[in-house]
Amino acid sequence: MLDLQQRLAQVGLETAPDTPASYGNATRASVEAFQHGRRLPVTGICDQQTWDALVEASYELGDRLLYFRHPMTRGDDVAELQRCLSALGFDTGRIDGIFGTLTAAALADFQTNMALPSDGICGTRTIQELRRVQARHANSHLVAYVRDKVRLRDSSHGLAGSRIAVAEDGSLGALAAALRRDLTEAGAAVIEVMHPDGSVQARSVNASGATVCLGITLLGGGSDPVVSYYAGHSYESPGGRRLAELTRTHLMLLEGYHRISVEGMSLPFLRETSMPAMLCRLSSPAFVVNNTGDIAAALARALGDWSVSPVEASTVQ
């Protein structure tokens, strides 16, 4: 508990007047504030993903050597490296704080351009060059975001021939099967992934070669449905957001689903998928059971619309 409070203080969130090592109202409020800022579910409970995010937030660029390895390095220092490289025109892929192969390639390209050893290791000399060059490009746009939109626009071709992943946690197998049938009839190849852990789902989806992923799960209690896409570290997935908005539009046409929110989140499933992804958290199990076919058809229509228009027409110049 004391470690939690110290890590919260490190990111500027105080826990006074709670006594050290006690989980009082102030500590809970700081946990909620941290979760909100990191686009995690705001529960006030320091679960594993909240703790992992706190640990990641403790790293600043320069605190450690950064390079590609297994398991991949994660942290705010990685996200800062990605932002710096992307702002200079080196494509790291999405800004997610995960040091993957695209980040390694972008770093090596930068080092080559700066006449540094192109070893893909971000150390003191590389950071010095990054900061020196960055000062001249303070208003640069993130190339990762722009290229994401261009790639999506250029790859739009409809559902026929698409590879679509449908991921669920074991609670919506019937809906996943109905969605697979609808998408298959439209000519898409469908990969079904079932696992309760979002990170495991993401790894399976990434290995499948899918070009887009739709996750489905059930919300507890009386909450309204929520459709989420990846957003974090001052970046959001343009394709994921577009799919989430289309999904809300089609689901709201169903009788009984008139209040659906769309929000950017940094949930493991959304953050770790390498393609545009969306997580649809449905409510009212009885409604889902009684309307499985209609919900599947709505999701299929949303994917169909997205496949021909994966970004807003006005967002790519």
Q: What is the DSSP annotation of 155-209?
A: H---STT-EEEEEE-SS-HHHHHHHHHHHHHTT-EEEEEE-S-HHHHHHHHHHHT
Instruction: pLDDT band for 11, please (50, 70, 90 cuts).
Output: very high
Among the residues of the chain, which ranges form H helices? 2-10, 25-37, 48-57, 76-87, 101-113, 124-134, 143-155, 173-185, 198-208, 238-251, 268-272, 285-290, 292-308
H or E element, residue 223: none
Is it the case that residue 314 has pLDDT exceeding 60?
A: no
**Least confident stretch, 3-12, 139-148, 271-280:** 139-148
Is it the case that residue 138 has pLDDT exceeding 60?
A: no
Is it the case that residue 66 has pLDDT exceeding 50?
A: yes
Q: Residue range 64-88: average pLDDT?
A: 95
What is the per-residue pLDDT for 141? 60
pLDDT in tens, 267-294: 999 999 999 999 999 988 889 999 999 9
What is the per-residue pLDDT for 313? 56
Is it the case that residue 97 has pLDDT exceeding 70?
A: yes
State which of 37-46, 135-144, 304-313 shows the largest mean pLDDT: 37-46
Q: Residue range 168-176: average pLDDT?
A: 96
pLDDT: which is higher, 1 or 106: 106
Measure Cα distances from 259 to 48, 222, 241, 313 in Å: 30, 12, 18, 26
What is the per-residue pLDDT for 195? 97
CATH code for the domain defined by 76-140: 1.10.101
Q: Residue range 133-146: average pLDDT?
A: 67
- Name the percent of the chain lying above pLDDT 70: 95
What is the per-residue pLDDT for 1? 85
What is the per-residue pLDDT for 317? 35
Q: Which of the four CATH numbers 3.30.200.20, 3.40.630.40, 3.40.50.720, 3.10.310.70 does domain 153-308 have? A: 3.40.630.40
Average pLDDT of the chain is 92
What is the per-residue pLDDT for 47? 95
Domain boundaries, given as residue ranges, for the chain: 2-57, 76-140, 153-308
**Least confident stretch, 71-75, 142-146, 293-297:** 142-146
Which three-class secondary structure state does DSSP give residue 265? Answer: strand
Give dist(CA 118, CA 107) in Å, integer: 8
Instruction: pLDDT band for 315, please (50, 70, 90 cuts).
Output: very low
- Name the percent of the chain lying above pLDDT 90: 80
pLDDT in tens, 179-221: 999 999 999 999 999 999 999 999 999 999 999 999 999 987 6
Q: Residue range 150-166: average pLDDT?
A: 86
What is the per-residue pLDDT for 316? 36
- Which residues are 229's β-sheet partners? 264, 278
Give dist(CA 206, CA 210) in Å, integer: 7
